[in-house]
Amino acid sequence: MRIIIVDDEMLARGVVREYLSEHADVEVVAECANGFEAVKAITELSPDLVFLDIQMPKLDGFEVAELAGSKTRYIFATAFDQYAIKAFEFHALDYLLKPFSQQRFDQALAHARANMGKNDGAIEQMVREATGRNKPLGRVLIRDGAKVHVINADKIEHVEAQDDYVQIRSEGKSYLKNQRMTELEEQLDPEQFLRIHRSWIVNIAFVDRIEQATKDSYVAILKDASRVPISRSGYQKIRAVIQ
């Protein structure tokens, strides 16, 4: 079994390594000290199991699981994150409370091993809830292959729906994220972002002016001169904030 250990504390990684040495069939393929490394390693090495700490710099455990996907099995660990513990309990996920014993660790490992390959969508659901907890979203995370882009919400100019994806425009670049438009709309700050069309969200700060396109349709002209269509209900919304 191929395992990746993710924890920002060296000593904490040491404990896991030590406990794993009791299991002959286990191979530690990578050790990661932060979320970015973890997403990269999980994407590139596709391990069977990831031992994942929740409290980490840059990206926390939830975000790593969200970005790296649920193809692999996770054992989460936390010292005292009440929210996380509740979430693990609720979704019946394998987790460990630090500090943990060899017995407790072996139990979690055996459970993960027995359920290898099963995916009931619990992790997707949990990470979605965890993202929703941080409303309004201050930054949007996008995985591009093994690389993670962190986009500050203030710098998002507009978002366009494209089937199951959303295309996010920021600082002259476009990013594709696997997310539904409505979900992203709910997570963004409603004071800052307006859904002016079924498939468009704009950042109010980047709207330069509104122009009439045809007899009864309008278009928003953004600061970079790009044009975003406005629906009838969207026009009501944007007129309320822009004169």
Partner 1 sequence: MQEISSTRQGLITYLLVWLFLGCALGGVISVASGTPLVNALLFAIPMNLVYAFESGYSAYYLCRAYPLGSRRAASITLVLSVAALVSGFLWLLIGSLWNSLCLLPGVSWAGIAFTSQLSLLLVGLGTLLYGFAAALHYLVIEFVRAKGAEQRELESLLMAQEAELRMLRTQIDPHFLFNSLNSISALTSQDPKAARRMTLELASFFRQSLGMEAHKKVTLGEEMVLIRHFLAIEQVRFGERLQVVELMGEGAAECLVPPMIIQPLVENAVKHGICNMPEGGTITISAHRAGSILNIRVANPVDEDMSSLRSEGHGIGLTNVRQRLSGAYKHEAGIQWGRHENSFGVDITMPAQTSEQGE
Binding site for partner 1 (CB under 8 A): 8-12, 14-15, 18, 33-34, 36, 55, 57-58, 79-81, 97-99, 134, 138-139, 150, 152-153
Element (H, E) at 62: helix 61-68
Closest distance to partner 1 from the beta carbon of 169 (Å):
19
Q: Which is nearer to partner 1, 52 or 228 (CB)?
A: 52
The whole-angstrom separation of Cα 118 and Cα 179 is 23
Do 189 and 137 meet the contact criterion of CB atoms below 8 Å apart?
A: yes
Q: Which is nearer to partner 1, 77 or 166 (CB)?
A: 77
Strand partners, 144: 147
Beta-sheet pairing, 200-203 with 165-170: unpaired
Give me the least distance between CB of 79 and partner 1, in Å please.
4
Minimum distance of partner 1 from residue 98's CB (angstroms): 4
Q: How far is the CB of 155 from partner 1 (least distance, A)?
A: 11
- As to burial, measured by CB atoms within 10 angstroms (0-12 exposed, 13-18 middle, 19+ buried), residue 236 is exposed
How far, in Å, CA of 206 to CA of 31, rounded? 42
In terms of CB distance, is 152 or 217 closer to partner 1? 152
Contact by Cβ (8 Å): 20, 26: yes
Beta strands in 79-155 (DSSP E): 95-97, 139-144, 147-152
Smaller CB separation from partner 1, 34 or 231:
34
CB of residue 236 to partner 1, shortest distance in Å: 30
With respect to partner 1, which residue has the nearer C-beta, 150 or 213? 150
What's the token pair of residue 151?
Answer: 């986009």
CA distance 172 to 68: 26
Rounded to the nearest whole angstrom, what is the least distance from the CB of residue 165 to partner 1 in the complex?
A: 23
Which residue, 37 or 48, is less far from partner 1 as judged by CB?
Answer: 37
